[in-house]
Homo-oligomer: A and B are copies of this chain.
């Protein structure tokens, strides 16, 4: 791996464990912390590390393979796949719209000021960029 990569799982979250794993791998790949060809920890190793059932890790990995983020090489483990665009523009729009509405809704319900929302988004994006540059 190009950089140390650490998956963290928080059990009390509303996001299920397998989804937390999926998201963290996806973002690590998106920000180049993980690059094409990098090996991931084996299902059993990661399960042990996270103190989680191997099935849960396997479920996360399987979803990432289906999405084209990872590749499974039988008998040899999981590696990061060459980047390829799997979803259509429309499908990506649709998924983005769902995420957007969920976020804005939550923010408004929490009574966060609009300018603060916007600044927080800008800051979060800037932070991702800094990670990429590293």
Contacts and interface: CB of A to CB of B under 8 A. Distances in A.
Number of copies: 4
Interface size class for chain A? Answer: 35 or more
A23 interface: yes
Main DSSP-derived SS at the A contact region: helix
Contacts of A1: none
Interface of A: 11-17, 23, 26-27, 30-31, 63, 66, 68, 71, 73-76, 84-88, 90-92, 94-96, 98-112, 114, 117-118, 120-122, 124-125, 128
24 contacts: A11-B73, A11-B76, A16-B75, A23-B105, A27-B105, A30-B111, A31-B108, A68-B91, A85-B88, A85-B91, A86-B91, A87-B87, A87-B110, A92-B111, A95-B106, A99-B103, A100-B103, A101-B124, A102-B102, A102-B103, A104-B121, A104-B125, A117-B125, A118-B118
